[in-house]
């Protein structure tokens, strides 16, 4: 029996992984790299209109800007 992935599932998994990597970079104080990863994940989330994830990543970006002052 062949398991089929729903359209966009691979993209969502990729975006989730990229966002998680961004959060890891942010916790380590690597804000420039974190911002790049967040932007990459946002491109995917915005393509698929995943509002909750877009909001979460935007919140993470806000945390970076708050840390930078």
Mean pLDDT of all residues in 40-66: 96
Identify the band that residue 1 occupies on the pLDDT scale cut at 50, 70 and 90: very low
Predicted TM-score (pTM) above 0.75: yes
pLDDT of residue 2: 43
Mean pLDDT of all residues in 1-26: 83
pLDDT of residue 14: 96
**Distance from C-alpha of 45 to C-alpha of 43, rounded to nearest angstrom:** 6
pLDDT of residue 8: 83
**Distance from C-alpha of 20 to C-alpha of 7, rounded to nearest angstrom:** 22
């Amino acid at each position: 029996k062949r398991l089929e992935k729903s359209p966009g599932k691979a993209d969502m998994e990729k975006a989730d992984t990229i966002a998680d990597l961004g959060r890891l970079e942010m916790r380590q104080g690597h804000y420039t790299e974190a911002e790049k990863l967040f932007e990459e994940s946002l491109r995917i989330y915005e393509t698929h209109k995943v509002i909750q994830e877009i909001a979460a990543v935007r919140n993470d970006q806000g945390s970076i800007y708050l840390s930078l002052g």
